[in-house]
Each structure stands twice: as C-alpha cells, then as structure tokens.
Amino acid sequence: MEDANNYERLIFKQVYILKRHTDKAATTHLANLVHSDFNMTFMPYFMNIGHGGISNHDLVNKIMVTKQGVSKTVKELERLGLTYTRKSETDARSIMIFLTEKGKQLHDTICQMADDMTAEYINLIGARKYEQFIDTLIKISKWHEEQEKLL
C-alpha cells in the first residue's frame, strides 16, 4: 500500500496531470476564440511575444528551443494571423516578432483566463499556499536551467 501512496506523490505524475488539466481547460476555453490549428505547444511562444514584441534571439533564450523551432512556430502563428515579423531596426541580423491586433486580443483573453484559473486555485488552497507553490515551481525550474548549463 505504501507504494501506491508514493506513486501519487511522484513528481512526474503530478506535473503531467496538472499540465494535462490546464491544457484541456485552455483548449476548451480557446476553442471558440482561435482557429482550430492553434496548438497548445504554441502557447509559450505566443505568450512570450506579448504586446511589446520580442526578437527571435530573445525568444529562443526565453523558451529554450532552437532558432529553427522558433522560426517554424512563428510561421504557423503568422499563418493563423496572430503574429507578424520584421527586421530589427537596431540589428539587421535579428528578426522582431510582434502580435497582430487579433493576436493581442487573444493574448489578453489568455491572460484573463490565467487570472481566473489562479483565482480558482487560490480559492482552493489559499493565497499563501498558492504563492509558495508558484515560488517552488520557479525555484525547481531555475535549478533545471542551471543543470542544463552545466552539460
């Protein structure tokens, strides 16, 4: 019986379940707002572009993917009418990525959805525990990022 309890506390299981549930909630909520080709894997790219835009180089560093991965996803987001690109005014080698008006509206909707979900979590476990949970996730993520730098 102890093994069953340990399995419930296995981080791989809990992170997977939380991701599955949050992706499902987002997908369900976004189904009427965005083209069916919008994939949840686009979310970190899309949300990091934000209202101010971002260089392709900075986006690569923020979400820790290859330049080719960023290019492919940004092209998909452009095809969906959510982003556009142009050469950087300060660095001719760099491409700047921006949200279209439609992209900005979707970004705001996603932020509101995240705020609503956060409020539900706070209602469930309390503000203090929620903040500790987020702080813990950030600390674990940063630890993993540091470990990757050592490789």
Kindly write down the DSSP assignment for every residue of 24-74, as one continuous string.
HHHHHHHTTTS-TT--GGGHHHHHHHTTT-EEHHHHHHHHT--HHHHHHHH
Please give the Cα distance from 130 to 121 (Å, whole number): 7
pLDDT for 57 beyond 70: yes
Q: Which pLDDT score, from 0 to 100, does residue 3 have?
A: 64
Domain boundaries, the chain: 26-150
Q: pLDDT tens, 7-25?
A: 888 999 999 999 999 988 8
| pTM for the predicted model, two decimal places | 0.82
What is the percent of the chain with per-residue pLDDT over 90, rounded to a whole number? 66
Q: Report the alpha-carbon distance of residue 45 to residue 124 in Å, rounded.
A: 29
Fold (CATH) for 26-150 = Arc Repressor Mutant, subunit A (1.10.10)
Q: How many residues does the chain have?
A: 151
